[in-house]
Homo-oligomer: A and B are copies of this chain.
């Protein structure tokens, strides 16, 4: 599906507002107003508010899949290196596209719309399958444990990152870093998160005791 500039403009505005206020908390009036377009354009372009949400998911998701798969298939890295890259990749993406990831959380917690939930699950399933391959490869090479619960592992990755992302302000306040510039703070967080999660994954994946 090809998207015009105006459609992308609408989608990006919707993404921000859906993340900030939730789907039901955002009116098409608000979206249209902030995107600088006529209210009728949302229905005109996307059919409905729900279809707009679906278009938004598809648009963001479409760009993700290619990067993950190509990263996995690269033969220059060891399984453990690949896992680490995956972690960094996910953290980067989550921090950079915070609104989108917040929406993904919303979609899952409020499983009101089956179509949207299904779309979200499809993405998760595809990613899970790709990573399952990576795990198997590591197990075959003897560097990973034999018993690994893939879903829990991914839940820890996604859950920890999401939880951290959702409580950035809280973290700042708790550590007294209210004065640190945004960019510097985000860099710090990303670095710390990376180390933290890699430590966790090492414990889950490898036999080191």
Contact = CB atoms under 8 A, between A and B. Distances in A.
Nearest to A152: B196
Contacts of A152: 160, 164, 192-193, 196
Interface in A1-49: 19-25
A125 B176 CA distance: 13
B192 A199 contact: no
Contacts of A73: none
Given A149-B192, A171-B151, A160 B166 contact: no
Interface in A114-128: 121, 124-125, 128
A64 interface: no
A76 B20 CA distance: 46
Interface stretch (A53-61, A81-89, A201-209): A201-209
Contacts of A23: 22, 24-25
A110 B21 contact: yes
Contact of A174 (B102, B125, B171, B202): B125
Contacts of A209: 208
A151 B128 contact: no
B170 A124 contact: yes
Interface in A166-209: 166-167, 169-171, 173-175, 192-193, 196, 199-200, 202-204, 208-209
Interface of A: 19-25, 102, 105-106, 108-112, 121, 124-125, 128, 149, 151-152, 155-156, 158-164, 166-167, 169-171, 173-175, 192-193, 196, 199-200, 202-204, 208-209
5 contacts: A20-B112, A22-B24, A109-B109, A159-B159, A196-B204
